[in-house]
Amino acid sequence: MKTKLFLLILISFHVLILPAQVFSGGSESVGIDEHLGDTLNMELEFINEKNEKVKLKDIIDRPTILSFVYFNCPGLCSPLQQGVAEVIEKIDLELGKDYKSITISFDYLDNSDLAVEKKKNFANKISQDKAAHWYYLTGDSANINGILKATGYKIKTAGLDFLHPSGIIMISEKGVIIRYLYGLTFLPFDLKMAVIEAQKGTPRPTINKVLDLCFNYDPQGKRYSFEVTAIAATMIIVAALVLLVVLLLKSRKK
């Protein structure tokens, strides 16, 4: 009886965590497969907001925040960049001195003109000295796919738009993937620790992956709405588990 009860709990727990796995793993899902400790190909080439060709090795010479967006995104991308700008202002480390930031468009149709426009929307929230070390890059499909695959960042086309996750990735000066931070806003402490870990070259596992499972972003209301279906399903599974445990215990007593 104890063995059956243990197996039941184990199966139910697997069902409960399955939605998170669907979001952040699996070859076909939209999300992020973490490649902690992997090294980026620093020869990948992009176009900066000055319409100049640059390689990753030309920019990444210290810990670097890496974020992915597309410039005509109606949903997550703008709030994500707002979150990056806010944490840059709050953290007690200096952008350009202690770390850098790179934003790459995964839409190969985006160009440097759009990069300039998009950068103005967010980099003007920080000082010009700091903004000079926040790079907005575009590129061709080969280089874009190369860095998306290397970081485990998985997207899908949806008409003229894209389905994609939200988060930032901390890269060391040698191009090693150190840490993933999920969501749209970031705590200064979390970013500071990620920078310190990148300085040491020490990858750290991610703790919080819950946000994109429990909430969906509403681009019209520019906010997250509670994902009723996912939460309701979880509550039903929990209730069923409790009921089965009670029935098993009663059966054991009889």
Q: What is the pLDDT of residue 91?
A: 94
Torsion of CA 248, 234, 180, 146, to 10 degrees: 110
Its pTM stands at 0.73
Residues paired with residue 134 on neighbouring β-strands, in sequence order: 101
Indicate the pairing of strand 156-158 with strand 161-163. Answer: antiparallel
**Domain range 30-218, CATH architecture:** 3-Layer(aba) Sandwich (3.40)
**Confidence at 172, pLDDT banded by 50, 70, 90:** very high
Q: Which of 161, 61, 73 is nearest to 102 (CA)?
A: 61
> Residues 24-81: pLDDT tens digits?
334 458 899 999 999 999 999 999 999 999 999 999 999 999 999 999 998 889 999 9
Other residues' Cβ atoms within 10 Å of the Cβ of residue 44: 20
